[in-house]
Amino acid sequence: MSSRLPVDVPNSRGTLPNGHARLPDWLRVNLPSGGAQAAFNGTLNVIQGNVLHTVCEEARCPNVHDCWARGTATFMIAGKECTRGCRFCSVETLKQPDPLDADEPERLADAAERMSLAHIVITVVNRDDLPDGGADHYKRCVAAVHRRLPETTIELLSSDLDGNWQALEHLLEEIPLRVFAHNVECVPRLDLLVRDPRASFAQSLEVLRRAKELRDDLWTKSSLMVGVGETDREVTDALQQLRDVGVELVTLGQYLAPDRATAKFLPVDRFVTPEQFLFWAEEARAMGFRSVASGPLVRSSYRAGLVLEEAETGRRLVQLPSAEH
């Protein structure tokens, strides 16, 4: 069974980009059935049972059926609301979210154990309301998972901590991570259109540069969305800038507006073809990225365990969904 995503988003001219009357076929997703549905339900039960949030749900990720049926999910810690209001993201914005939940690290570790995760991706909401941007809480969550599952590789998809370099140092000091990820999200020219004014490509690049400087033993990873108004050339330039600060793992995916009825969300500017994503993948590898996932439905945590394994083994492992052929 397959379905179209609920994101037929007209652009500013009131039409779908590139003259599409509907979304292109390569954005078709498969719904789980049989054993896959049971596995999906198992993932859901653990998440709900442990009172955790996931970016899969909060960001309305198109891969949720695929990933959860594989028994993976990306946990979102430090609350369900973010202090920033980026125009691509459906996570709710609040100036003053609830206080941090001191039990969250243990509940997270318990969920990871129940799901027998070999690799876990933990992402965060921005907590500009906290003096350390939430860094200490992020660190506690990672430590709790590591205590419970010392063999599990951990990937933290971090905020920019509002450029608080002391907080970044604290976060990274002896943290048992394998991957430190932080997303630049879009090409630099579009920062003000796409991201909250407190975020920028330059600041994100600096987070990644410093992370590598502080912890050369960790892989650094970033992600770019396309379809928000960039040119192909700007994507190539952005990839090169990421390589120049030592980023080794990269993902590229198509932006899909979370809700066409809400003016907060940017309209889709264009649907990039699977062939163009493949072109960037080859280009990124030629630049020296150790692992690349590039395709219409790719998200920063998409098949994250395989992306890491590809980097560590040098073997190409990341297969894109069949709809993208």
Is residue 63 a contact residue for ligand SF4 (CB under 6 A)?
yes
Q: Stretches 2-10, 30-38, 55-63, 288-296: which one binds ligand SF4 (CB under 6 A)?
A: 55-63
Instruction: Tell which one of 40, 50, 53, 74 touches ligand SF4 (CB under 6 A).
Output: 74
Q: Which of 27, 47, 73, 144 binds ligand SF4 (CB under 6 A)?
A: 73
Residues 134, 317: Cα–Cα separation, whole Å = 34
Scanning 27-35, 72-80, 102-110, 191-199 for contacts with ligand SF4 by CB under 6 A, the matching segment is 72-80
The reply on whether position 67 binds ligand SF4 by CB under 6 A is yes
- What is the chain's alpha carbon radius of gyration, rounded to the nearest angstrom? 18
User: 7 vs 214, which CB is nearer to ligand SF4?
Assistant: 7
Of 9, 23, 46, 55, which lies in the binding site for ligand SF4, with binding defined by CB under 6 A? 55
Specify the residue, 61 or 194, whose C-beta has the smaller distance to ligand SF4: 61
- For position 89 contacting ligand SF4 by CB under 6 A, the verdict is no
Longest dimension (CA), the chain: 53
Tell the smallest beta-carbon distance from residue 256 to ligand SF4 (Å). Answer: 11
The reply to whether 56 sits near ligand SF4 by the rule CB under 6 A is yes
Asked if residue 120 lies in contact with residue 155, where contact means CB atoms within 8 angstroms, the answer is: yes
Separation CA 124–CA 109 (nearest Å): 15
Q: Smallest distance from the beta carbon of 272 to ligand SF4, in angstroms?
A: 17
For 132, phi then psi, to 5°, come to: -100, 15
Tokens representing 51 are 């009172």
Per CB under 6 A, 61 contacts ligand SF4: yes
CA–CA distances in Å: residue 304 to residues 74, 121, 155, 179, 213 = 10, 7, 8, 10, 23
CA atoms within 13 A on the CB side of 52: 29
Alpha carbon 154 to its chain centroid, in Å, reads 14
User: What is the C-alpha to C-alpha distance for residues 282 and 293, in angstroms, rounded to an integer?
Assistant: 10
Strands of 107-218, DSSP E: 119-124, 153-157, 179-181
Comparing CA positions, the residue from 98, 50, 97 lying closest to residue 73 is 50
Min CB(299)–ligand SF4 separation in Å: 4
Specify the residue, 186 or 304, whose C-beta has the smaller distance to ligand SF4.
304
Among 72, 152, 159, 183, which residue sits at the site for ligand SF4 (rule: CB under 6 A)? 72
CB of 210 to ligand SF4, least distance (A): 25
The smaller minimum CB distance to ligand SF4, of residues 56 and 228, is found at: 56
Least separation, in Å, of the C-beta of 4 and ligand SF4? 17
Which residue stretch of 56-64, 158-166, 238-246, 274-282 sits at the interface with ligand SF4 (rule: CB under 6 A)? 56-64
Q: How far is the CB of 122 from ligand SF4 (least distance, A)?
A: 11
Pattern of binders to ligand SF4 over 264-303, x per CB under 6 A? -----------------------------------x-xx-
Residue 166 beta carbon to ligand SF4: minimum distance, rounded to whole angstroms: 30
Long-range Cβ pairs for the range 107-111 (8 Å, 24+): 107/50, 107/51, 107/52, 108/50, 108/52, 108/75, 108/77, 108/141, 108/144, 108/145, 109/144, 109/145, 109/147, 109/148, 109/149, 110/50, 110/148, 111/46, 111/47, 111/49, 111/50, 111/52, 111/75
Which residues here bind ligand SF4, judged by CB under 6 A? 55-56, 61, 63-64, 67, 72-74, 299, 301-302
